[in-house]
Structure 1
Amino acid sequence: MCGNNMSAPLPAIVPAARKATAAVIFLHGLGDTGHGWAEAFAGIRTPHVKYICPHASLSSPFTNPLCSYRFDIISLSPEAEEDESGIKRAAENIKALIDQEVKNGIPSHRIVLGGFSQGGALSLYTALTMHQKLAGVMALSCWLPLRSSFPQAAASSSNKDVHILQCHGEADPLVPLVFGCLTVEKLKSFVDPANVQFKTYPRMPHSSCPQEMMDIKQFIEKQLPPIN
């Protein structure tokens, strides 16, 4: 846990309606908190699944790196420099959160990791560089960070055949659809292409929509079925 006076708040959690046998960890975008996404998941919840929506630190990511998953976005152009150390540090923090759930009794292969925008970028990078096997990844309105380091960075990952749901709004002005298209092509070059779904939504800006939430619900139910 975070151990100084600048601790990030505890995650927003939607508890399972019965005994939790699976979990979704979902990372919000820049300048947001986990509360809105927790509310969205409460509307599509599956009874045996626990939903965990951590809050990134609102302070600088360098103030208290143990309690933040934020990293600096320098530019979104394809040739832009990226905050490599911040991304890697943030990924380690998410892996620690997954480890905590495993200690709580939910195995990693019963965990779906996901996120929106910056959180989606981080969920992709984390999943594709970790040694524990995940049930799936949901990458919404985002991009693959440090993409020039792949597929080498994924060489030792346990998630080369992970199921990925990637979603993007066709009217996104902040992370244009072309970033989603470039990302899905890159993913298919080192993840089993049959396991990568890419869904786009007409007129959807940098946000979510009811159809996307239904697609998310179906993906979660397929990757995290109930167990007896």
Structure 2
Amino acid sequence: MLLECVEQETGPAPAWTVLWLHGLGADGNDFAPIVPELVRRHWPALRFVFPHAPVRPVTINGGMRMRAWYDIVGMDFATRAEAEGVEESVRQVEALLAREAERGTPPSRILLAGFSQGGAIALAAGLRRREPLAGLVALSTYLPGGAAVAAQRHPNAVAQPVFFAHGDSDPVIPVQYGQASAQMLERVGFEVEWHRYPMAHQVCAQEIADLGDWLDRRLAA
């Protein structure tokens, strides 16, 4: 069963899709307001798809039930992401990508984006892609499983450019973990554009502008 989603289209008959995954405890409405700030007039029509993660207990939050792409079982970034939850969420993302293909948008015109936990799933899904997407967007996040997962990426996946951005005073996912993940991706062949901003665990105006520039190049290609 497909995840429920919030959708916005910037024009009729959108030829491109941006699938955007929210962070822990949020839902698909969280990043919907970013669309008018991000989109530029000369871009083709886009469909933004913001799915709601399933509700599950989160160990690090005392077992409280909330929307989460996977359980967080500890503070160690090498092992904190519960592997079964990551696998389940990657499958759910793949199902949404397949629906976009059925709606007429091929992988080459789909961008997969995510913030925090959502960004971790975007990276995990992107590394397995046999059919490369137009690009991956990783905001304030890290690669679950680290170097071992990066080394196991599908050979075709490295064709996907990556926009990676992080706040240098992020108390939730310290910037060194984001930067290390970006470097891991570069070492296995990805083209990574890394940005660092004077902010915490959030998104800032300059980041949106830089992401818009990066998307401009993807859409032109």
Shorter chain as denominator, the TM-score bin is 0.7 to 0.9
Q: Would you identify which runs of 4 or more consecutive aligned residues in structure 1 move more than 6 Å?
A: none
2:217 is aligned with 1:222: yes
Output the CA distance in 1 between the equivalents of 2:114 and 2:102: 22
Instruction: Say which SS state the counterpart of residue 30 (structure 2) adopts.
Output: helix
Instruction: Say which SS state the counterpart of residue 188 (structure 1) adopts.
Output: helix
Output the CA distance in 1 between the equivalents of 2:105 and 2:197: 33
**Superposition deviation, residue 157 in structure 1:** 4.4
2:169 is aligned with 1:174: no
Instruction: Say which SS state the counterpart of residue 197 (structure 1) adopts.
Output: strand
| Structure 1, unpaired ranges of 5+ | 3-7, 62-67
2:53 is aligned with 1:56: yes
Deviations 1:32-71 (A, max 9, x none): 011120111233224411111111123449xxxxxx8720
Identity of aligned residues (%): 28
The answer for the alignment partner of 2:114 in structure 1 is 115
Q: Mapping of 1:64-143 within 5 angstroms? A: 70-143=69-142
**Superposition deviation, residue 22 in structure 1:** 0.6
Q: Which has the higher strand share?
A: 2
Using a 3 Å threshold, how does the CA distance of structure 1 residues 59 and 75 change in structure 2: closer, same or farther?
closer
Matched letter for residue 51 of structure 1: F
The answer for the alignment partner of 1:5 in structure 2 is none
Instruction: Say which SS state the counterpart of residue 113 (structure 2) adopts.
Output: strand
The answer for the alignment partner of 2:37 in structure 1 is 43
TM-score with structure 1 setting the length: 0.85
Correspondent of 1:212 among 207, 216, 220: 207
Output the CA distance in 2 between the equivalents of 1:184 and 1:20: 31
Q: Which moved more, 1:208-217 or 1:102-111?
A: 208-217
| Structure 2, unpaired ranges of 5+ | 59-66
**Superposition deviation, residue 180 in structure 1:** 1.1
**Superposition deviation, residue 152 in structure 1:** 4.0
Asked if structure 2 preserves the Cα contact closer than 8 Å seen for 1:69 and 1:90, the reply is no
Output the CA distance in 2 between the equivalents of 1:122 and 1:47: 26
TM-score with structure 2 setting the length: 0.87
**Superposition deviation, residue 79 in structure 1:** 4.2
**Superposition deviation, residue 161 in structure 1:** 2.4
**Superposition deviation, residue 150 in structure 1:** 2.6
Asked if structure 2 preserves the Cα contact closer than 8 Å seen for 1:27 and 1:120, the reply is yes
Using a 3 Å threshold, how does the CA distance of structure 1 residues 207 and 21 change in structure 2: closer, same or farther?
same
Aligned length: 210
Matched letter for residue 167 of structure 2: G
